[in-house]
Structure 1
Amino acid sequence: MDLKDHYNKMWTASLQKFKKQQFQFDPLLDADDDNRYGLTLLARPSEEVKQSILDALEEIKRIAPSQYYYSHPDLHITILSIISCYPCFSPDAIDTEEYCKIISSAVASVAPFRISFCGVTASSSCILIQGFPGNDQLQILRNTLRDTFRQSGLQHSIDKRYQLQTTHMTAIRFKESFAESEAFVKAIENLREKDFGSCSVKQLELVGNDWYHREEKVQRICKFKLSN
């Protein structure tokens, strides 16, 4: 996949909707009875990258304070959604050791890789930070995990919603109508080419998570170091 072209197409389609006030709002963001849970292999960006993103988000918050902004501990890069969130799932219901074994085997031959974060793109429901891997190690890892889990007999839902090929981070979700939607769109456009920095991914985490990866609901299961 040509990531830049893919991000550009997402941006163009979403911007047209935004300018027509066609935002998709998430009714479950504040729902107390939202019990969707899943299993995700993820990576954390560096502190420098996080701070760059958070600084940019502060500017947007002044314009659109009522939307949902990802916090410092919640920012993450999804390597692969192993079990997509669904109601009442719990990691206690599966043999997490088997999942850790499969992932450990897959990452054993994968070297650390860099991701550059430059600019934003969007969907109708959220704003995303664009990520660009520096080599093919991430794609190799994802494909290895896909093949291994399909052969394993373990519960998973890999690629059932869509095949993950991007390296984005979700930064903002739309929660309610905008008081100043034009100002919001203009502010987001100003971040279209912003350089948020880059970092080397050397460690991955397998976590149980809610839909929004809120820190208070994340259950850390295993950590994996990429080979040097």
Structure 2
Amino acid sequence: MNLTEHYNQLYIKSSEVILEGNYKLDTQINNASDSRFGITLLIRPNEKIKANIQLFLDELKAIEPHQYYYPDPDIHITVMSIISCYEGFTLDKINIPEYIDVIQQSLVHLDQITIEFRGVTASPSAFMIQGFPTDESLHNFRDKLRENFKKSTLEQSIDSRYTIATAHTTVMRFQEKLVNPKELIATAAQFRDYDFGEFQVENLELVYNDWYQREKNTIRLANFII
């Protein structure tokens, strides 16, 4: 996949949708009874990058203060959604050590992963920071995870919603009607090529999480040093 082209097309289409007022609101963010949970293998960017992301979010907050903004602890890149969030999923339904074993098998030949965060893109319901792996390491690791989980008998829903190929991080979601969509898009446009920083991935986390990866609802199941 050409990530630059993918992010560009997503931004162009989504910004048009937002300006036309056809964006989508996330109605579940403040639903205390939301029971959608799953398990995810993820990467967290370093503190410097998260600080740069918050500078961008501060600009958006000044225009649209009532939307949902990701706090530092929740910012992440999804490596693989192993069990996509669904209502009623709990950890007692799975054998966690077996999942850890499959991931460790997949890590054997993993090369160093380096990711550059540059620019922003959008969807009809959110803003994301664009992530660019500097080589094929992340792509190859995902393929190895797919292969090894497919060979197992473990519950998994890898690629059931879509085949993950990007390295973006979602940082803002629409939860209320936009007040200033034109100003919002104009501000996002100023960050289209902004350099948020580059980092070398030092560890991966396996977590039990809600739909929004909120820290208060997250249980860390394993940490993999790479």
TM-score grouping bracket, smaller chain normalisation: over 0.9
TM-aligned CA deviation for residue 37 of structure 1:
0.2
> Where do 5+ consecutive residues of structure 2 fail to align?
none
The CA deviation string for residues 31-67 of structure 1, in whole angstroms up to 9 with x for no partner, is 0110100000001101101110011101110110010
Q: Distance in 2 between matches of 1:68 and 1:143?
A: 32
Structure 1 residues 185-194 or 41-50, which shifts more?
A: 185-194
The CA deviation string for residues 160-213 of structure 1, in whole angstroms up to 9 with x for no partner, is 000000000001001010111211111111111111001001210000000000
Q: Distance in 2 between matches of 1:19 and 1:173?
A: 16
Which residue in 2 is equivalent to 1:186?
186
Q: How does 1:67-82 map to 2 (within 5 A)?
A: 67-82=67-82
Provide the secondary structure at the position in 2 that maps to 1:78: strand
TM-aligned CA deviation for residue 92 of structure 1:
2.2
Q: Distance in 2 between matches of 1:63 and 1:140?
A: 40
Structure 1: which amino acid aligns with 2:162? Answer: Y
Provide the secondary structure at the position in 2 that maps to 1:207: strand
Structure 1: which amino acid aligns with 2:98? Answer: E
Which residue in 2 is equivalent to 1:117?
117
Which residue in 2 is equivalent to 1:29?
29
Q: Distance in 2 between matches of 1:7 and 1:183?
A: 21
Q: Distance in 2 between matches of 1:182 and 1:154?
A: 47
The CA deviation string for residues 77-108 of structure 1, in whole angstroms up to 9 with x for no partner, is 10000000000101221000000000011112
Following TM superposition, the consecutive aligned residue runs of length 4 or more in structure 1 with deviations greater than 6 angstroms are none
Count, aligned residues: 226
Q: How does 1:53-68 map to 2 (within 5 A)?
A: 53-68=53-68
Which residue in 1 is equivalent to 2:92?
92
Provide the secondary structure at the position in 2 that maps to 1:28: coil
Q: Distance in 2 between matches of 1:98 and 1:132?
A: 31
Provide the secondary structure at the position in 1 that maps to 2:26: coil
Q: Distance in 2 between matches of 1:8 and 1:182?
A: 18
Q: Taking structure 2 as the reference length, what is the TM-score of the superposition? A: 0.98
Q: Distance in 2 between matches of 1:59 and 1:169?
A: 17
Q: Distance in 2 between matches of 1:58 and 1:19?
A: 21
TM-aligned CA deviation for residue 23 of structure 1:
1.2
Q: Distance in 1 between matches of 2:123 and 2:68?
A: 15
